[in-house]
Amino acid sequence: MAIVLFSPQTQTFIHNSIVPSSCCYLQPTTHISFSLRTPSTSLITKCQQINHSSSLQPKTTQTQEDGIPIEDVKILVKFKSRHNYIRVLEVSRKADHPFRGSRLLLLDGPGNIHSISFLLKTLTETYFDVFATLPPILPPGPLAILGFGAGSTARILLELYPDAVVHGWELDPSVIEVAREFFNLGKLERENKDRLFIYVGNALNASLKDGFSGIMVDLFSKGSLIPELQDPATWKKMKKCLRKGGRIMVNVGGSCVESENKYRDGKVVMEETLKAMKVVFGKKLFVLNLGNRKDDSTLALTGDLPQPDAWKKVIKKGFLRSYVDMWKPYSGQVRAKSSHLAGTMMHQARHLTKTHIHQARHLIETHMPDVVALGIGQMQANHYMAWDKCVMLQAKAQAKHVHDQTKAWSKMWLSD
């Protein structure tokens, strides 16, 4: 199976510091800078960027937002697969940075991080850890990870929850192979033969006979949430894959996400994704914002919000409990904006109808005089007139199809 998505856990890590594949060296720079935050003073985003910076000065205490000296970063592998620009980076254990001793998986041009792994610890102090707060509030049953990457989320879940069974979907087989070689995924699979199942294919077609108790979504392509996540139909389909009482937790990115397409603004795409979810989940939609400045990063959660104290009690790692109080109801005004959008689309559909007919008529009026002028017989002329009618009917049919599709989509979008 094939899909137009892979799982980026977005953290823009490298920006112009990884050179094109034709080069085999890093461009000169002083530091590699991040924009990650933790739940305390510097919140972790799903967006970690390594940017060139010659103005950064040495600091006594480093955070994820501070730069890593380029000499502390080593490229272990770099190549282009069918779907991704794959790079694995290793941060020196001697680096004065929270990422010291980690390996990072980058999959797109801007350098968004899709996975992070530490040799000596399970938690990453990134948004991956937030996914680990989900199992305690789910009914019994298997978990799904849509956008597996190198297995950062799966590793945390399997270690913290001995009874967890994880099914992961990833588009790119090369990503899985890299994960097995550089992120100890092979070892994780061997140690959890009955608990970890990995599929290479379309994550949006993920399903299990009796459904999932929880679904974790981390689907990005080319540095942006995949377009399907801005469609309510996607969330309706996903909701049907849940067991009774099941929930979905989603990495919806934010302004921290840098897309390969300059017109795919991370903040705008995040809002459109949340609006699509709002159509399906209504008031049972909550958001957790990990950003405290312009580079925000957001996760979404479906279902009734559990009582905070009760939720904290069932979370094993004390560090993870700090996330519980950060969830807030999503307050996006979907209906009003959707009504305007639907109205705009209907107007465009009507305009498209007129455009199709006008183009067909123009084509006929342009060529019919030539047919007559050439002295073609009456039979041929009649045939051309029949073609005239056929073109007009096709134009109207095509325009009607577009109009009907738009009307149906608008009705679904506006319904709760």
Q: Looking at the structure, do residues 135 and 278 belong to the same domain, yes or no?
A: yes
Kindly state whether residue 280 falls inside one of the protein's structural domains: yes
| Euclidean distance between CA atoms 50 and 113, whole angstroms | 10
327 — pLDDT class (breaks 50, 70, 90): very high
The amino acid occupying position 283 is K
Q: Looking at the structure, do residues 61 and 144 belong to the same domain, yes or no?
A: no
Q: Looking at the structure, do residues 174 and 208 belong to the same domain, yes or no?
A: yes
Higher local confidence (pLDDT), 348 or 107: 107
Displacement of CA 187 from its chain's centroid (Å) = 27
Q: What is the DSSP letter of 228?
A: G
All residues at 6 or more sequence positions from 127 whose CB lies less than 8 Å from its CB, including other chains:
9, 11, 44, 45, 46, 251, 290, 297, 299
Work out the number of other CB atoms within 10 angstroms of the CB of residue 200: 17
Kindly state whether residue 48 falls inside one of the protein's structural domains: yes
Number of domains within the chain = 3
| Euclidean distance between CA atoms 150 and 93, whole angstroms | 20
Sheet holding 113-118, edge to edge: 73-80, 85-91, 102-106, 113-118
Q: Looking at the structure, do residues 175 and 307 belong to the same domain, yes or no?
A: yes
Q: Which two tokens stand for residue 54?
A: 């010659």
| Domain boundary pick from 72, 87, 118 | 118
pLDDT digits (tens, 9 = 90+) for 231-274: 999 999 999 999 999 999 999 988 777 777 777 888 899 999 99
pLDDT for residue 88:
96
Work out the number of other CB atoms within 10 angstroms of the CB of residue 156: 20
Task: Give the mean model confidence (pLDDT) for residues 100-117.
Answer: 88
Q: Which residue has the tokens 């919000």?
A: 305
| Euclidean distance between CA atoms 402 and 352, whole angstroms | 8
pLDDT digits (tens, 9 = 90+) for 133-159: 999 999 999 999 999 999 999 999 999
Kindly state whether residue 177 falls inside one of the protein's structural domains: yes
CB contact at 8 A, 23 and 3: no
| Domain boundary pick from 289, 314, 333 | 333
The amino acid occupying position 213 is S
* E strand or H helix at 74: strand 73-80
Q: Looking at the structure, do residues 328 and 232 belong to the same domain, yes or no?
A: yes
**Structural domain boundaries enclosing 61:** 31-118
| Domain boundary pick from 289, 311, 333 | 333
Kindly state whether residue 9 falls inside one of the protein's structural domains: no
| Euclidean distance between CA atoms 378 and 261, whole angstroms | 55
Kindly state whether residue 252 falls inside one of the protein's structural domains: yes
- Can you tell me whether residue 129 is helix, strand or coil? helix
- For residue 346, is pLDDT > 90? no
Kindly state whether residue 1 falls inside one of the protein's structural domains: no
366 — pLDDT class (breaks 50, 70, 90): low
Task: Give the mean model confidence (pLDDT) for residues 63-83.
Answer: 81
Kindly state whether residue 277 falls inside one of the protein's structural domains: yes
CB contact at 8 A, 271 and 317: no
Q: DSSP strand E in 271-372: where? A: 285-289, 298-302, 327-329
Q: What is the CA angle 174-31-45, rounded to 5?
A: 60
- For residue 22, is pLDDT > 60? no
pLDDT digits (tens, 9 = 90+) for 239-250: 999 999 999 999
| Euclidean distance between CA atoms 327 and 308, whole angstroms | 10
**Residue 221: exposure state from Cβ atoms within 10 A (0-12, 13-18, ≥19):** buried
- DSSP for 23-57 reads --SPPP-SEE------SSSSPPPS----BEESSPP
